[in-house]
């Protein structure tokens, strides 16, 4: 996370990725709820 916030590239654009499965909606909903509880958007604004 710190490297990404510092602007370092984690994955180059030419690296191919294949989606083999996707997360269920409930997992994404749980992440969304936790991000809102932690006020993640405000926290990330401080570093950008």
The DSSP output letter for 1 is: -
Q: What is the pLDDT of residue 36?
A: 92
Instruction: Report yes or no on 47 lying in a domain.
Output: yes
Helices marked H in the chain: 2-5, 25-37, 40-47
**Tally of structural domains, the chain:** 1
C-alpha to C-alpha distance for 46 and 13, rounded to whole angstroms = 26
- Kindly report whether the global pTM for this prediction surpasses the value 0.85: no
In the chain (48 residues long), the average pLDDT of successive 10-residue segments reads: 83 74 78 91 83
Q: Per the domain annotation, does 16 fall within a domain?
A: no
Using CA atoms, how far apart are residues 9 and 33, in angstroms rounded to an integer?
28
Q: What residues make up the domain containing 44?
A: 23-48
Decide if 29 is inside a domain. yes
| 27, part of any domain | yes
Please report whether residue 14 resides in a domain: no
Question: What is the largest distance, in Å, between two alpha-carbon atoms of the chain?
Answer: 35
């Amino acid at each position: 996370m710190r490297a990404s916030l510092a602007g370092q590239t984690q994955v180059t654009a030419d690296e191919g990725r294949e989606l083999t499965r996707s997360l269920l909606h409930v997992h994404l909903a749980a992440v969304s709820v936790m991000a809102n509880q932690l006020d993640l958007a405000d926290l990330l604004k401080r570093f950008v």
